[in-house]
Amino acid sequence: MYKIDISERTLHFKQPAGTSRGVYTTRHSYYLTLTSPEVPGIEGVGECATLPDLSCDAKPEYEVTLRQVCQMVEQMGRIPYDMIRAYPSITFGLETAFASFFAAAKRNAVASSAAFSEDAQQGFTVPAWAKNLADLYDSSFGRGEEGITINGLVWMGTYEEMLARLEEKLKAGFHCVKLKIGAIDFHKELDLVKRIREVYGKDQIELRVDANGGFSPEDAMSRLEALAQYDIHSIEQPIKQHQWPKMAQLCKESPLPIALDEELIGVNVRSMKEALLDTIRPQYIILKPSLHGGIYGCTEWIQLAEQRGIGSWITSALESNVGLNAIAHYAAKMYGPNVAMPQGLGTGQLFTDNIPMPLEIRGDKLFFSPL
C-alpha cells in the first residue's frame, strides 16, 4: 500500500531561455512524495513537469488528472502504464518517486545493518513490476565512481549574447557544445559557427545545433548544406514535427546527421514508434523522459532505435534537480559505465532557486555524490 502527496513549485531561470518556439523565464513542476506504512520513515520523490505548448500532456485539466492517477496508483499498488501512456510526465514522476523510494529503503536497510536484497527491504518486498526501478540508482555513476560526459548548452539570443555564452562554456572545459538556432538571422548564426571552427577544430570541440523546428521545409536543405561545411556533429529537429515525408527526405539527403526530438512527442504506442522510425529513418533520436514516455517509454524508443542502427542520447527537459537527478541515473543505467556520447544533462545550473541535490559539474562531466 502506498500514499502519494502532491506539492508544486515554480522555479526561475537565471537568464531567459530562448528557443525558436519562444522564451522561458519560469518552470512550474508538481512533486510526488511517496510513502508506505510497510516501511515507516522512508519516502521517495518524483517530479511531474510539462513544457507549455510542447508537452503532449500539457492540458488545462493536468492537475486534476494527476491527482486521479495518483489515487489510482494508491488503490492498485502499481503504475498503470497502459492507462497513462498519454501522460509521459506523470509516468516519469511516478517512476522516479518509486525508484527513489526503493533506493531510500535500501540505504536505510544498509545503515541499520538489516539484511537487504532486491526482493526484501526490512520486510518490504519489491513488486515484480518495479524490478527495473528498484536498481535505477545502482551504477558506477550512482556510487560516485565516475561522471557522465555532458554537453554545454548555449541558449538563443543576440549574436553577442550567444558568443559570450559560448566562450563561457569553452572556458568551463566543455568539449561538446550545443547551440540553439533558428530564431535570429541564419547568416549570423552561421557566422557564429564559422567563428568557432576558425579557433577550434572538430577534434577539440564537438558542435551540435538545435533548430527546434525553426527551419521551413523549403529552406532546410540549403541551411543543412551550409552548416555541414563546419563539421557539425548533428542537428536536432530542423523542421517542425508531423511532416514525416519531408523529414524522411531530409534524413535521406542531408549531408548533416539529423536527430529527432519534438517529432517523438505524443508518439506513445509501440506500433507508432516503429512506424515513425521506419518511415523517417533518422540518424539519431533524443530522449527526454518527461516528454517521451517516462523511463518505460524511453527504454522502448532506445531498443527500437538500436534494432534499426539508429543512435540515441538522453537529455533533460528543463526539470528541477529532482527530475534531472533521476534522468542522469537513468542515462547511466541505460548506456552502462563510461558513457561515451555526451548527454544533455547540464541544465541544473539554469535556475536561481533550484532544489538542492548532490549533483556537481566538474569540467564537462556531471557527478553524483551518494549520501
Evaluate whether residue 305 is within a structural domain.
yes
- Cα dihedral 338, 339, 343, 345 sign: negative
Of 134, 156, 182, the residue at which a domain comes to its end is 134
Q: Are residues 195 and 323 in the same domain?
A: yes
In a domain, 141, yes or no: no
- Model pTM score: 0.93
Which positions are catalytic? 180, 288
Pair 332, 239 in one domain: yes
Question: Residues 297-304: what's their mean pLDDT?
Answer: 98
What mean pLDDT comes out for the span 312-325?
96
Question: What average pLDDT does this structure show over 209-223?
Answer: 94
Q: Please, are residues 35 and 42 in contact by the beta-carbon 8 Å criterion?
A: yes
Residue 120 banded pLDDT, cuts 50, 70, 90: very low
What is the tens place of the pLDDT at every residue in 249-279? 999 999 999 999 999 999 999 999 999 999 9
What radius of gyration, in Å, describes the C-alpha atoms of the chain? 21
Asked if residue 209 and residue 76 are part of one domain, the reply reads: no
| Residue 30 sits in the same domain as residue 123 | yes
- 273 and 310 assigned to the same domain: yes
Which residue among 101, 134, 167 closes a domain?
134
Q: Tell whether 171 and 308 lie within a shared domain.
A: yes
CATH number of the domain bearing residue 112: 3.30.390.10
- Residue 142 located in a structural domain: no
Range of the domain at 106: 3-134
| 123 and 189 in a common domain | no
Q: Please report whether residue 158 resides in a domain.
A: yes
The C-alpha cell that represents 171 in the structure block = 572556458
- Residue 214 forms part of a structural domain: yes
Strand 232-236 versus strand 206-210 pairing type:
parallel
- Statement to judge: residues 76 and 115 lie in one domain: yes
**Shared-domain flag, residues 99 and 176:** no
- Please indicate, yes or no, whether residues 276 and 363 belong to a single structural domain of this protein: yes
Joined together, the cell numbers standing for residue 106 give: 535500501
Same domain, 85 and 191: no
Q: What is the CATH number of the domain that holds 186?
A: 3.20.20.120
**254 and 302 both lie in a single domain:** yes
User: Is residue 140, in this structure, part of any structural domain at all?
Assistant: no
Query: For residue 315, what is the DSSP state?
Result: B
Question: Is residue 114 over pLDDT 80?
Answer: no
Number of domains into which the chain is organized? 2
Using alpha carbons only, what angle is made at residue 324 by residues 182 and 39, rounded to the nearest 5 degrees? 155
Evaluate whether residue 176 is within a structural domain. Answer: yes
Give the mean pLDDT of 55-82. 97
